[in-house]
Each structure stands twice: as C-alpha cells, then as structure tokens.
C-alpha cells in the first residue's frame, strides 16, 4: 500500500483528500498535519469522519517521515521548502497550491509576490492536468496540481485551440465558483448574510489564475494566448461552471468541432462530453472527479461556446491530486476515484 500523507489536512481541500484516500484501494492515509489543529483528531474537526478517519494531526516533519507521497494543501508561498525536504528524502510531492504551477518566475513574482526559492525543483516539476499532459506526469515525483478554474477552462478550450478552430484573441472565460473555493477561513464576502441570495463577480480581470490558464492555452495554440477571465461567487458549497466564448475561424462547422473534441477526449474516463442539446451542470458532478463538457455554437454571431462543470473540491483539487498520485506510482489512474454523483 502507498503510504500517503496530507499537510494542511483540516482545510477543505486537505479534508477532501483524507476522504478520498480513506477509500483508496492501493493507498492508505499514513499521517496528517495541521498548524491550527495540531494534536486533534481529524474527526474532531470534521465530525462526519468519526470512526472513519480519526488520524491525529501531527507535524509536517512527521508526515514526511511516514509517507511515500506527501500532498500539500497549503496557501501559496508555503510549499517550496516542504517540496525541498521531500525531494531530499526521495519522497513524491504533490502540491495543491500555486507554488510550482507557473513556469515563468516573472509571472510568479507579478501575481503572487514570490520568487523561485529552488529553481532546480521548478525545472523538475510537471503540471498535473492528466487529460492534457498524462505522459509527462507518469512516474514523476514533483507535481503541480492545477486548481479549479485552471482545470475547468483549459479542458473546455484546449481541443479547439489545438486544432486551430477558434481565434486566439478575444477569448472570454466567464466562470462561477462554489464558496468552498475560497477556503475554510472566514472572510467578509463568504460570511453567510453576505453570500446567501447574492451573486457577484470578484477580482474582475485580475485573478491570479489568469496567467496559469494562459500558460496552458498557449501550449494548445502554439503561441501566446491572452484571456479575459471574470470569476463569480455562487451561494453554493461546491462546483465550478466555466462558460467560455471564442470566435470561430471562418468556415468552421459544428460537426468539425464536435468531431475534434470526440477524438481529443476519446477514452477519457473523467471527461464526459455531453450529447448535443445537453448543457453542463455543476449538480451532475458533485463529489466526483468528472468534468462535464457541453459544446454550443452561436451561428449568427460566429461564436463558439464551451461550458465545463467540475466539483472544485474533487476534480478541481483533491480528486485530481489522487489521479496524479496514481499516475506517479504507476497504478490504475481511476483508482479510488470512481465516484457516482448523487441523482438529487
């Protein structure tokens, strides 16, 4: 059994990792840590885990010592030294934060205010979006796990850009997120009276995920892509809905687009390309590692619309991290992730 450890286990993404690892057929939860709840059982923090996951939160050092793979569910800026400690001991490290996602240090400095503390580790790191970069991920020990928006938007647009079916300029990603994406710590805009029965945009054209999405989409296009990204906060716990707009190249048909997506995502267990007439809905992917994708054309305006839906805590965080662990250790990619969404 793979011995897995979670640093930052009492945050939402960390707790979701513990839930998934507890049911994994080839891995077991070896150790967990939490600065805020050190010495407390995970089931004291999340009572639903009682008699299922009662691991006591220890230190980061204990997690590293006891584990073959360490998942870091930490805020940005806190993973680089931990990654170095894991690398020195030959341990696999999967970062759910942003520290290893950007390839360009100037982008990291501009958007996160930090520098690359260990440039050699950044050169080792691979970007963990399996549906797009599976072969680069296999067997690697330092994986940058994409987040919610940075999973939903590239999966929606990558095949069309890769095949040259849409223009590279003027792309818009209009996205909605459940409140768990903001983390467990209370803030004014996630306070219940502020959030309930409200719906608002935030960080308009200034969100830190923008350069990461542009980095992935530029790989698809083979040249730089600039994205207009506007996120919104939904008064729901889970889900990301990404509605992406792009101008069609002249002469491109709906049939061409659908055939391109069917070919690109053929055999992808967790990418469900919906039939014509269906629209992706976050409710249909709750608690799962699926990404539902629906394709639409505004023929009158010449606009392609791709809508993706994921659970931000699973495919947008913990589930994708487990998927990356499976690829890293050479086991069945779907292990521990064949979760059925609730019907209602």
pLDDT of residue 264: 98
- The catalytic position among 53, 148, 175, 291 is 148
Task: Of 340, 338, 298, give the one whose Cα is nearest residue 322.
Answer: 338
Task: Name which of 151, 129, 183 is nearest 323 in CA terms.
Answer: 129
pLDDT value of position 185:
77
Nearest residue to 145 via CA among 19, 287, 314: 314
Q: What is the pLDDT of residues 285-300, one digit of tens each?
A: 999 999 999 999 999 9
Q: What is the pLDDT of residue 190?
A: 82
- Supply the pLDDT for residue 42: 97
Query: Is 148 marked active-site?
Result: yes
Length of the chain: 344
Q: DSSP characters for 58-106?
A: E-HHHHHHH-SEEEE---TTSSHHHHHHHHHTT-EEEE-SSTTT-S-HH
At residue 216, the pLDDT reads: 98
The whole-chain average pLDDT of the chain stands at 96
pLDDT given at position 314: 98
- In the structure encoding, which two tokens stand for residue 279, read together? 């629209």
Kindly report, residue by residue over 124-146, the tens digit of the pLDDT: 999 999 999 999 999 999 999 99
pLDDT tens per residue, range 206-262? 999 999 999 999 999 999 999 999 999 999 999 999 999 999 999 999 999 999 999
Enter the DSSP assignment of 239.
Answer: -
Of the candidates 154, 131, 132, which has an alpha carbon nearest to the alpha carbon of residue 270? 131
Nearest CA among 173, 145, 179 for reference residue 158: 173
Q: Which of 121, 114, 120 is nearest to 98 (CA)?
A: 114
The pLDDT value given to residue 43 = 97
What pTM did the predictor assign? 0.96
**What integer is the mean pLDDT of 101-112?**
96
Supply the pLDDT for residue 246: 98
Q: What is the pLDDT of residue 8?
A: 97
The confidence score (pLDDT) of residue 136 equals 98
DSSP letters of 294-332? EEEEETTTTEEEEEEEE-TTIIIIIHHHHHHHHHHHTS-
Output the pLDDT for position 198: 87
- pLDDT digits 0-9 by tens, 154-213: 999 999 999 999 999 999 999 999 998 877 776 777 888 888 888 999 999 999 999 999
Q: Check residue 195 and give its pLDDT.
A: 83
pLDDT tens-digit profile of 329-339? 999 999 999 99
Alpha carbon distance 319, 79 (integer Å): 19
Strands 227-233 and 200-201: antiparallel
Q: Domains plus CATH for the chain? A: 2-145+315-329 (3.40.50.720), 149-311 (3.30.360.10)
């Amino acid at each position: 059994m793979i011995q897995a450890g979670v640093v930052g286990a009492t945050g939402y993404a960390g707790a979701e990792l513990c839930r998934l690892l507890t049911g994994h057929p080839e891995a077991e939860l070896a150790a967990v840590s939490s600065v805020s709840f050190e010495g407390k059982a995970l089931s004291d923090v999340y009572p639903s885990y009682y008699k299922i996951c009662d691991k006591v939160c220890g230190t980061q050092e204990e997690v590293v010592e006891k584990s073959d793979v360490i998942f870091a569910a930490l805020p940005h800026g806190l993973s680089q030294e931990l990654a170095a400690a894991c690398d020195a001991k030959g341990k696999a490290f999967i970062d759910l934060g942003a520290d290893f996602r950007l390839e360009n240090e100037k982008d990291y400095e501009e958007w996160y205010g930090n520098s690359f503390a260990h440039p050699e580790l950044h050169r080792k790191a691979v970007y963990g979006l399996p549906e797009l970069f599976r072969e680069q991920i296999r067997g690697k020990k330092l994986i940058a796990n994409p987040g919610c928006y940075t999973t939903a938007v590239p999966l929606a647009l990558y095949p069309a850009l890769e095949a040259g079916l849409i223009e590279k300029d003027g792309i818009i990603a209009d996205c909605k997120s459940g409140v768990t994406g903001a983390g467990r710590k209370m803030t004014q805009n996630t306070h219940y009276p502020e959030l309930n029965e409200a719906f608002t945009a935030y960080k308009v054209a200034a969100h830190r995920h923008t350069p990461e999405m542009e980095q992935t989409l530029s790989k698809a296009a083979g040249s730089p892509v600039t994205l207009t990204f506007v996120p919104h906060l939904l008064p729901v716990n889970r889900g990301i809905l990404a509605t992406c707009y792009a101008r069609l190249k002249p002469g491109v048909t709906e049939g061409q687009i659908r055939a391109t997506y069917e070919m690109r995502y053929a055999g992808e267990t967790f990418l469900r390309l919906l039939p014509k007439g269906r629209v992706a809905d976050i409710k249909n992917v709750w608690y799962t590692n699926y990404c539902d994708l629906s394709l639409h054309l505004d023929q009158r305006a010449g606009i392609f619309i791709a809508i993706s839906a994921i659970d931000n805590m699973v495919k947008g965080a913990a589930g994708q991290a487990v998927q990356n662990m499976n690829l890293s250790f050479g086991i069945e990619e779907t292990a521990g992730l064949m979760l059925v969404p609730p019907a209602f």
